[in-house]
A and B are shown apart, each in its own frame.
Chain A
């Protein structure tokens, strides 16, 4: 069972019911659950969307797009049914926040899905969980069944004229399916290959109908916004970056865990105070701020870095999915880069050539390089290859593989050079096996 953590700097909004038994519907209601959806049922779709815009909530999956704006793109009139699709395919290495939401607060996802449906005029929502999360799927399925039993889902929800259904869905192991158009393909029973955009899902989505796709954390946040008021929620964060988010602190910190902190929280403080500093009194070498696809940051780059979409963007990286991976000074960055690209090579769906071939060659080059058989020209070739993948694929997976690789080479060139001329990895530990790769 994932260990829950806590720190005085946390502002518990999304996580306030964690560990309180709120997976049971009665307990969820006791803790203020299903009040927000009732509030929204008495309002117009435009009011709901305007509140969402005012909350400054930005997508928690990684792109950081305004949720209210996204909802407003759905056409009011549509010949085809509209859908809400909740993305719980959480697969970005470093990210484990939705895991806790499904485990401790599944009803918040259900309530948020209904509110999203009211806002866009959808009558059916899907909650898609990655296949590995089977025990969490059971929890969510039970929560959905309980909501049906109470009349919170189905025909005439909460005694009104509105209908709303939810279908839970399992994936079967594919990172790529976390991309919104590949997610729709998977839900339609196909290989998870991305679709060309435009048209965007808000216009032509699932089964050809207008669809909004939101990350599970985004959807779980929605009821809290209506409970506390959009202004109050927004005020917790920084300008244009409303509220809090679940930061998944991992790697070489003393106290890893999922902490809910206000948007804009200082990254250095997050590592040294919330996370208790670097494990074993070692020094910080680097930090990956938002899941494995985000460019690595150096210790000097995080001094005054507030963790919101705009500030991390300005620092040359991305806030991404909130996975903060802390790396100590005993870690080989070439090895880390190799393990990162091996993941993307494994997960590339093969649809776009720059990604399929690019990830494969990057992995081969880095593997050879780490083994001590690299040449000086490889360093520039790796960077050249990575930079030429950027922006040349249908979906962001190509960028997700290229961005971190380019950053590792750019920021740790010296360490790459230390592997040249058949020299063994300077960080190889006695008795510790060399990296094999999946």
Chain B
């Protein structure tokens, strides 16, 4: 690749699809920087967390410093600087979920997975988090696995939920093989 070409096509760590999406995002707003928070979240969805390379790439695309990106990212609870499990289980224990057994649910997940709050299973398949209100108060207790909601739960449904994600991961693994 000639130096000229390199200048035209800056290296990016994102997939061509995400890269194209980001090119469109930064054009969309009256001010480029408005794309920052969605970009960080979408980048995290693809890469798994906000690695140094993600921060650098996003900073370059918006035209701000890496420090500025980190300063903003550290404010938002969904953005993380460390990897999570393939399936990040977020158990709400806020008041409405608590009243209907949110803590019992969280404890069952701890037992089944053998990890604590913010822990990751050794196989990297699951991570567990106790989170604040996820907006499912009338259908409590509720959890989110990545972005999927599961509501009106009781602890006995925990093994079934975990199994369904294990099978999903297995099916994906076989599809890739």
Contact = CB atoms under 8 A, between A and B. Distances in A.
A257 interface: yes
A174 B151 contact: no
Contacts of A124: 30
Interface string A154-181: 0000000000000101111111000000
Interface in B47-98: 62, 71-72, 75-79, 93-96, 98
Contact of A435 (B100, B103, B134): B103
Nearest to A349: B75
A433 B107 contact: yes
B76 A251 contact: no
Among B31, B94, B103, B144, which residue has the most Cβ atoms of chain A within 10 A? B94
B152 interface: yes
A54 B21 CA distance: 44
Nearest to B147: A134
Contacts, number: 163
B133 A91 contact: yes
A50 interface: no
Interface of A, helix, strand, loop or mixed by DSSP? loop
B75 A189 contact: no
Contact of A2 (B103, B133, B139): B139
Interface string B109-149: 00000000100000000000011111111111000100111
Given A99-B136, A325-B99, A331-B99, A174 B104 contact: no
B34 interface: yes
A320 to B, nearest CB: 13
Interface in A265-323: 288, 292, 323
Interface residues of A, number: 62
Nearest to A190: B72
A61 interface: no
B138 A248 contact: yes
Contacts of A256: 138-140
A96 B94 contact: no
Interface in A82-137: 90-96, 98-99, 124, 130-135
A81 B30 contact: yes
Given A135-B148, A172-B40, A433-B107, A189 B33 contact: yes
Given A325-B96, A433-B107, A130 B135 contact: yes
Contacts of B104: 432-433
A188 B96 contact: no
Interface string A396-438: 0000000000000000000000000000000000001101101
Contact of A94 (B76, B117, B137, B148): B137
B132 A175 contact: yes
B79 A172 contact: yes
Given A172-B37, A186-B37, A343 B96 contact: no
Contacts of B62: 189
Interface of B, helix, strand, loop or mixed by DSSP? mixed
A195 interface: no
A167 B24 CA distance: 12
Among B132, B136, B148, which residue has the most Cβ atoms of chain A within 10 A? B132
Interface residues of B, number: 48
Interface string B145-166: 0011101100000000000000
Given A172-B78, A173-B76, A433-B103, A167 B29 contact: yes
A222 B31 CA distance: 29
Given A93-B133, A256-B140, A433-B103, A189 B147 contact: no
A432 B107 CA distance: 10
B102 to A, nearest CB: 9
A224 interface: no
Interface in B9-64: 28-31, 33-38, 40-41, 62
Nearest to A98: B135
Contacts of A98: 135
A1 B37 CA distance: 27
B78 A257 contact: no
Interface in A1-15: 1-3
Contact of B94 (A1, A167, A339): A339
Contacts of A433: 103-104, 107
A147 interface: no
A139 to B, nearest CB: 12
Contacts of B117: 436, 438
13 contacts: A93-B94, A93-B132, A94-B96, A132-B134, A248-B138, A249-B138, A251-B140, A292-B95, A292-B133, A325-B99, A343-B94, A432-B103, A436-B117
Which are the 6 A-B pairs with shortest beta-carbon distances? A173-B78, A189-B36, A189-B33, A173-B77, A172-B76, A134-B147
Interface of B: 28-31, 33-38, 40-41, 62, 71-72, 75-79, 93-96, 98-100, 103-104, 107, 117, 130-140, 144, 147-149, 151-152
Given A172-B78, A327-B99, 7 more contacts: A3-B151, A96-B139, A174-B76, A189-B31, A288-B95, A339-B98, A436-B117
